[in-house]
């Protein structure tokens, strides 16, 4: 027997030992050697033997942060943060499934339960026989009839209760998927909203919080007297989920809310509320950025800019008056710009709606339609946009999100920027000469 | 989703003094040209003036164009795989302001000799104010890189420590990686950064109006009066009967205004780098 196979054999036996199955080490050794003689890679040989002798009953215990996608047969202990009923149609049959979010001390993850286990929000569960699949780019826990779901005592086993709370995290560093967010912010906008949930209508609170680093939206599923405008609050055990591409702080009954001892004044957050342009490399590595200002060169106008037609029912962009959902429709004229903004430190796609497009190219949509119909082709507008904008410096305000089309900023405001290049050149010359003159003095 | 590569801003002077080209990973991963200031260039964005366009036709069309900025010239090549760029180049007047996004390429005919060029993706005709803004932006970004490289050299740090320090100092992940590579590869960086700084300061000075004396001169700044440039520019216009002006004739004529040959050369150089005149053929000059 080769030297290298010894540790592998030990690994296999150790793994099988954790089950109640009686094993004969000699047989396993023999089969392992045989598999390796067949040039089966060691990992595959191990997998094959584990499968054969353990009847695939080996549960791998996993923490949420370690889940990558594609795992099978794992065991998870987590708290249910929320759960909703959904009726899906599977092969012509209506079937209830449950979708929601769960968390342990390492992170949060969404899940789908294909069976009714009577799970309620807040339950601490040990779930066996889960599998993980990638759904919309994120791993998601799935479990169903082959799984067991065991209620654990929340007093002793809450995976989040022993979590040591670290220092508060600045809003700019909030990551989607954090399950125990601890942060301090000032409430700069707040409103109530009535929604329908599994358990009937419910009032939730939507708002925007700000600290000296960033602004972020938050949603509270509970009513709390501290949630009022201009209050600085400290929250612990909130979880951060992606909502419309932006990290959003979710506050629920497990979150503690206090009025913060350190109060963020209007001055502290002034720069965030009335932001200065940021360099693109400062934000493009974030999960999303809420209400930022960026500035850069328009280096490319993308196809689909200019005069487009939308379906009157669903607003999808259509061509030849055919909507892929609603069939033949009378399209509505619209203007937009999709372009690449690059400041030399980073790059993103920007999208301007009809109003902003009209503002930056100084055309009304009526004029655009006239020009297009005179030229007999709508693409003439794309050329117009190119000649007006390519190479120009544009400043935009809006939300940056990261999605399947890359990093995108949907503009809430846009303007072309002219600077006095002479003044700017003088300033730079002075800055650059300073160290040289210093060098000469030495 | 593969993220789009940023378009770096570098002056021709720096681009052409780069010879560190690398490729890591499988064949689909991008190529990079690392410049002495650590710009890790796959894509770049330049705004300059077309000074020459040739069709090097062998079997297929292959256009070579020269684009000048205040520090030197970029060479761009467009052939059968860049049909739009080739079509564009076949119809452009010289001189004209242009903006180009493209990919950095190198040609190494023999070991130790490296020519850099740009394979254009998008070309368009633009104007002097966009060019001026590009010069300012490129100067600002180049200066930031120079300062970061100096900091890297002073720190005596390497690899991961160095990158972490640079990111802390405001560098992007790509730039931090580029600088870590550049200081390993290039020798004599300290001296080069001084030269580059002077080149950039002179490039910025081309943006200033003639009667502008904003700053104390450096050791390297030339003591040529701006008026000389103006005299030469005027003369060039008067002498040009449609086919440009012979350099020798220009020197003769300006001698009458009391200018030395050297001063004429200097002024012509200034005018060229400001994009106000060009050399359609050797020793023939024309106003833009």
Residues A127 and A76 in one domain: yes
A193 with A307, same domain: the answer is no
Nearest chain A residue to B43 by CA: give it.
A344
Q: Report the DSSP beta bridge partners of residue A209.
A: A187, A216
Domain count, chain A: 4
A142 lies in the same domain as A50: no
Q: What is the pLDDT of residue A42?
A: 82
Chain B residues inside the 8 Å CB shell of A431: 143
Residues A226 and A175 in one domain: yes
Contacts of residue B23, defined as CB under 8 A and 6 or more positions apart, other chains included, come to: B29, B30, B31, B32
Domain termination residue (choose one: A151, A183, A216): A151
Token pair 């001390």 is found at A105
Answer whether B173 touches A (CB < 8 Å): yes
Question: Which of A53-57, A378-382, B161-165 has the highest average model confidence (pLDDT)?
Answer: B161-165
CA distance B240 to chain A (A): 31
User: Does the beta carbon of B5 lie under 8 angstroms from any beta carbon of chain A?
Assistant: yes
Closest CB to A426: pick one of B8, B124, B214.
B214
pLDDT in tens, A305-340: 988 889 988 888 888 888 888 888 888 989 999 999
- pLDDT recorded at residue A54: 65
To the nearest whole angstrom, how far is the Cα of B148 from the nearest Cα of chain A?
13
Class of domain B228-287 (CATH, top level): mainly alpha
Lowest mean pLDDT among A13-27, A274-288, A370-384, B256-270: A13-27
Q: Are residues A83 and A99 in the same domain?
A: yes
The string of pLDDT tens digits covering residues A179-226 is 778 899 999 999 998 888 767 888 899 999 999 888 999 999 888 888
Q: Is residue A441 part of a domain?
A: no
| Secondary structure (3-state) at A309 | strand
* Listed residue (A155, A183, A147) closest to A167, CA to CA: A183
Contacts of A210 (CB under 8 A, 6+ apart): A171, A185, A186, A188, A216, A264, A269, A272, A273
In this prediction, residue A395 has a pLDDT band, given cuts at 50, 70 and 90, of very high
Supply the pLDDT for residue B217: 42
* Predicted local confidence at residue A442, as pLDDT: 37
Domain presence at residue A431: no
Give strand pairing partners of A195.
A202
A132 and A228 housed in the same domain: no
For residue A275, is it within any domain?
no
The helix (run of H) or strand (run of E) holding residue A282 is helix A280-283
**Shared fold status for B7-127 and B228-287:** no
Angstroms from A233 CA to nearest CA on chain B? 29
Q: Would the CB atoms of A391 and B130 count as touching at under 8 Å?
A: yes
Q: Clarify whether residues A285 and A315 are in a common domain.
A: yes
Between CA B205 and CA B215 the distance in angstroms is 10
Residues A88 and A144 in one domain: yes
Distance in angstroms (rounded) separating the CA atoms of residues A338 and A349? 7
Closest CA relative to residue B253, chosen from B243, B273, B242, B267: B267
Burial (CB count <10 Å: 0-12, 13-18, 19+), residue A256 = middle
Q: What is the percentage of chain A residues whose pLDDT exceeds 90? A: 25
- Taking phi over 0 as left and psi of -120 to 50 as alpha, with beta for the rest, A137 belongs to left
Other CB atoms closer than 10 Å to residue B105's CB: what's the count? 16
In this structure, is residue A302 part of a structural domain? yes
| A-contacting residues in B 107-136 (Cβ below 8 Å) | 122, 124, 126, 129-130, 132-136
Judge: B201–A429 Cβ closer than 8 Å, yes or no. Answer: yes
Contacts for A267-274 with beta carbons within 8 Å, 24 or more apart? A268/A186, A268/A211, A268/A212, A269/A186, A269/A188, A269/A210, A269/A211, A269/A212, A271/A212, A272/A210, A272/A211, A272/A212, A272/A213, A272/A214, A272/A215, A273/A188, A273/A210, A273/A215
Is the model's pLDDT at A392 over the cut of 90?
A: yes
Cβ–Cβ of B45/A299 closer than 8 Å? yes
Among B172, B200, B215, select the one facing A346 at the smallest CB separation.
B172
Report how far residue B109's alpha carbon sits from residue B115's, in angstroms, rounded to the nearest whole number: 8
Per the structure block, which two tokens stand in for B136? 């300012």
pLDDT in tens, A233-272: 999 888 888 887 788 999 988 888 989 888 888 888 888 8
Distance of CA A54 to the CA centre of its chain: 38
Query: Where residue A441 falls among pLDDT bands split at 50, 70, 90?
Result: very low
Of A151, A186, A206, which residue constitutes the final position of a domain? A151
Q: Place A58 in a pLDDT band, splitting at 50, 70 and 90.
A: low
Listing DSSP states for A362-398 in one string gives T--HHHHHHHHHHHT-THHHHHHHHHHHTT-EEEEEE
Q: Indicate left, alpha or beta for A195 from its phi (over 0: left) and psi (-120 to 50: alpha).
A: beta
Provide the 8-state DSSP code for A134: E
Task: Round the CA-based radius of gyration of chain A to a whole number and report it.
Answer: 29
Which residues of chain B have a pLDDT value below 70?
Answer: 1-2, 211-226, 257
What CATH number is attached to the domain comprising A147?
2.40.50.140
Please check whether residues A8 and A28 belong to one and the same domain.
yes
pTM, two decimals, is 0.68
In whole angstroms, what is the distance from residue A268 CA to residue A245 CA?
Answer: 27
| Contact between residue B138 and residue B110 where contact means Cβ atoms under 8 Å apart | no
A2-37 residues labelled b (16+ CB within 10 A) or e (exposed): eeebeebbeebbebbeeeeeeeeeeebbebbeebbe
Chain B environment of A428 (Cβ under 8 Å): 136, 139-140, 143, 204
Whether residues A290 and A416 share a domain: the answer is: yes
Whether residue A134 lies inside any domain: the answer is yes
pLDDT digits (tens, 9 = 90+) for B106-162: 988 888 788 999 999 999 999 999 999 999 999 999 999 999 999 999 998 888 999
Alpha-carbon distance of B272 to B71, in angstroms, equals: 10
Q: Looking at the structure, do residues A302 and A417 belong to the same domain, yes or no?
A: yes
- What is the pLDDT at residue A439? 46
Residue A440 lies in a domain: no
Within 8 A by CB and 6+ apart from A44, the residues are A35
* Residue showing tokens 């004429």: B264
Residue that terminates a domain, selected from A216, A240, A269: A269
Q: What is the mean pLDDT of chain A?
A: 84
Domain spanning B7-127: CATH superfamily: Nucleic acid-binding proteins (2.40.50.140)
Which residue's entry shows tokens 């117009």?
Answer: A384
pLDDT at A249: 93
Find the closest chain B residue to A433 by CA distance: B218
Interatomic CA distance for residues B123 and A329, integer angstroms = 38
Residues 6 or more apart whose CB falls under 8 angstroms from that of B163 comprise B173, B176, B177, B180
DSSP A9: H
Strands A256-259 and A327-328: unpaired
**Would you list the domain boundaries of chain B?**
7-127, 133-211, 228-287
List the domain range (segments joined by +) for residue A203: 171-269
SS (H, E, C) chain B: CCCCCCEECCCHHHHHCCCEEEECCCCCCCEEEECCCCCEECEEEEEEEEEEEEECCCCCCCEEEEEEECCEEEEEEECCCCHHHHHHHHCCCCCCEEEEEEEEEEEEEECCEEEEEEEEEEEEECCHHHHHHHHHHHHHHHHHHHHHHHHHHHHCCCHHHHHHHHHHCCCCHHHHHHHHHHHHHCCCHHHHHHHHHHHHHHHHHCCCCCCCCCCCCCCCCCCCCHHHHHHHHHHHHHHCCCCCEEHHHHHHHHHCCCCCHHHHHHHHHHHHHCCCEEEEECCEEEEC
Contact check, Cβ <8 Å, B215/A430: yes
CB atoms within 10 A of CB B28: 6
* Chain B positions in Cβ-Cβ contact with residue A405 (cut-off 8 Å): 1
**Is residue A434 domain-resident?**
no
Tell me if A334 is assigned to some domain. yes
A92 and A204 assigned to the same domain: no
**Window from A89-93, A390-394, B21-25 with minimum mean pLDDT:** A89-93
Could you give the CA distance from residue B174 to residue B163 in angstroms, rounded to a whole number? 10
């Amino acid at each position: 027997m080769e030297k290298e196979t010894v540790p592998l054999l030990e690994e296999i036996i150790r793994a099988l030992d954790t089950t109640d199955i009686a094993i004969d080490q000699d047989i396993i050794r023999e089969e392992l050697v045989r598999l390796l003689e067949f040039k089966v890679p060691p990992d595959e040989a191990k997998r094959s033997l584990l499968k054969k002798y353990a009847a695939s009953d080996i549960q791998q215990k996993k923490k949420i942060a370690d889940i990558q996608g594609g795992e099978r047969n794992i065991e998870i202990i987590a708290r249910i943060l929320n759960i909703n009923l959904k009726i899906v149609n599977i092969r012509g049959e209506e079937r209830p499934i449950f979708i929601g979010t769960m968390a342990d001390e390492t992170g949060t993850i969404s899940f789908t339960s294909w069976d009714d286990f009577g799970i309620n929000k807040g339950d601490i569960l040990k779930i066996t026989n889960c599998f993980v699949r990638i759904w919309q780019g994120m791993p998601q826990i799935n479990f169903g009839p082959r799984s067991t779901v065991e209620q654990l005592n929340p007093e002793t086993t809450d995976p989040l209760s022993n979590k040591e709370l670290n220092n508060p995290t600045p809003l700019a560093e909030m990551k989607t998927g954090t399950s125990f967010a601890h942060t301090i912010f000032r409430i700069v906008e707040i409103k109530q909203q009535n929604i329908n949930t599994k358990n009937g209508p419910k009032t939730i609170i939507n708002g925007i919080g700000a600290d000296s680093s960033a602004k972020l939206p938050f949603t509270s599923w509970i009513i709390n007297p501290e949630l009022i405008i201009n209050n600085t609050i400290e929250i612990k055990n909130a979880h951060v989920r992606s909502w419309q591409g932006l990290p959003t702080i979710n506050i629920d009954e497990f979150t503690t809310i206090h009025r913060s001892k350190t109060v963020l004044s209007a001055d502290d957050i002034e720069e965030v509320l009335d932001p200065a342009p940021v360099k693109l490399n400062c934000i493009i590595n974030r999960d999303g950025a809420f209400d930022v200002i960026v500035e850069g060169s328009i280096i490319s106008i993308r196809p689909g800019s200019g005069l487009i037609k939308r379906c009157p029912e669903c607003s999808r962009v259509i061509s030849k008056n055919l909507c892929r959902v609603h069939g033949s429709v009378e399209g509505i004229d619209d203007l937009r710009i999709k372009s690449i903004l690059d400041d030399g430190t980073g790059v993103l796609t920007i999208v301007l709606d009809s109003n902003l497009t009209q503002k930056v190219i100084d055309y009304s949509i009526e004029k655009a339609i006239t020009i297009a119909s005179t030229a007999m082709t709508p693409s003439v507008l794309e050329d117009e946009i190119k000649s007006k904008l390519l190479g120009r410096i544009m400043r935009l305000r809006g939300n940056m999100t990261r999605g399947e089309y890359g990093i995108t900023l949907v503009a809430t405001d846009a303007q072309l920027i002219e600077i006095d290049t002479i003044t700017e050149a003088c300033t730079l010359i002075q800055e650059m000469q300073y160290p040289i003159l210093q060098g000469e003095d030495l | 989703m593969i993220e789009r590569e940023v378009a770096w801003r570098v002056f021709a002077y720096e681009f052409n003094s780069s010879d560190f080209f690398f490729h890591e990973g499988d064949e689909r991963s991008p190529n990079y040209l690392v410049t002495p200031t650590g710009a890790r260039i796959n894509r770049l964005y330049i705004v300059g003036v077309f000074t020459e366009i040739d069709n090097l036709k062998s079997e297929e069309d292959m256009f070579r164009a020269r684009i000048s900025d205040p520090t030197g010239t970029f060479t761009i090549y467009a052939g059968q795989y860049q049909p739009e760029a080739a079509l564009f180049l076949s119809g452009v007047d010289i001189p004209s302001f242009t903006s180009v996004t493209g990919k950095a390429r190198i040609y190494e005919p023999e070991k130790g000799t490296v020519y850099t060029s740009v394979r254009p993706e998008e070309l368009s005709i633009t104007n002097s104010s966009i060019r001026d803004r590009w010069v300012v932006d490129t100067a600002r970004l180049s200066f930031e890189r120079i300062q970061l490289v100096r900091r890297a050299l002073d720190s005596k740090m390497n690899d991961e420590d160095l990158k972490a320090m640079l990111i802390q100092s405001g560098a992007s992940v790509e730039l931090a990686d580029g600088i870590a590579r550049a200081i390993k590869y290039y020798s004599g960086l300290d001296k080069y950064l001084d030269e580059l700084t002077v080149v950039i300061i002179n490039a910025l000075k081309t943006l200033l109006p003639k009667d502008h004396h904003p700053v104390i001169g450096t050791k390297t700044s030339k003591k040529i009066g701006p008026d000389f440039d103006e005299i030469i520019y005027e003369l060039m216009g008067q002498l040009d009967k449609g086919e440009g002006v012979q350099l020798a004739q220009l020197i003769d004529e300006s001698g009458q205004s009391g200018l030395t040959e050297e001063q004429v050369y200097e002024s012509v150089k200034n005018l060229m780098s400001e994009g106000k005149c060009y050399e359609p053929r050797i020793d023939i000059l024309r106003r833009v």
